[in-house]
Amino acid sequence: MRRFEQIGGHLAIDFVNTLGGRPEDPDDEYLNGYNDVLAWTERTSLLQPYTLADLRNAATANPELADAALERARLLRKALDRLLRANLNPKPQPRKGDTATIRTAYLEAIAHATLRPHNLHLAWAWPDGTNDLNRPLWPIALAAVDLFQTAPLQLLAQCQHCRWLFLDTSRQHNRRWCSMNACGAIMKMRRYRAAHRP
Ligand SMILES: [Zn+2]
């Protein structure tokens, strides 16, 4: 269940990692249906269980709206993906509309949000018990803007085996794999086989 792994070091990077596989040919799609968006949201604890249940019912009742929400999620992911990789090799060129896509998602998220006291601060929050199928995207859109405004993007790196991204916060900045259990283990096995080939 790789789609449930969160190794990016930031919510918005983990969201980008819902498309995995080889760097040059991404073929591991984890968001195949609207329910996958909900499953991912559940794993990241972004929504209360009863909000998830409401959204599941709303999606069953309105499959076309659910498909549209899924499409919007993938569009946001694609824009984020291109903008993030603009500083990596090889560099896919961000498209002109990518920042606009993030801005639109962010404005919609804020339009639905309220400000709630959180410790000494005020935090954006959304009322629970909504039927709006775009609800899972709101915290992701906020995280996306936070990522580009405040995250240490100089630490951004890509796994040396798959396309997953992460913030390399290791002390030596020499992290190579998304996860030692997945790509790390595969590459270790390959090296072992190559070394012990008769
Ligand atoms: Zn990997």
Going from the Cα of 179 to the center of ligand 1, the distance in angstroms, rounded, reads 6
pLDDT, tens digit, for every residue of 57-75? 999 999 999 999 999 999 9
Q: By C-alpha distance, which of 46, 187, 37, 13 is closest to 128?
A: 46
Residues 177, 184 contacting (CB under 8 angstroms) = yes
Going from the Cα of 130 to the center of ligand 1, the distance in angstroms, rounded, reads 36
3-state SS, residue 29: strand
Q: Does domain 2-195 have CATH number 1.10.3300.10?
A: yes
- Please check the confidence at residue 16 and state whether its pLDDT lies above 80: yes
- Please check the confidence at residue 89 and state whether its pLDDT lies above 80: no
The β-bridge relationship of strands 156-158 and 165-167 is antiparallel
Q: Give the span between the Cα atoms of 131 and 14, in whole angstroms.
A: 25
| Model pTM above 0.85 | yes
Sign, Cα dihedral of 177, 10, 87, 91: positive
Going from the Cα of 46 to the center of ligand 1, the distance in angstroms, rounded, reads 24
* Domain locations along the chain: 2-195
Omega before 94 within 30 of 0, i.e. cis: no
Grade residue 130 by pLDDT with cuts at 50, 70 and 90: confident
Strands (E), the chain: 19-21, 26-29, 114-118, 121-125, 156-158, 165-167
**Joined tokens for residue 16:** 């980008």
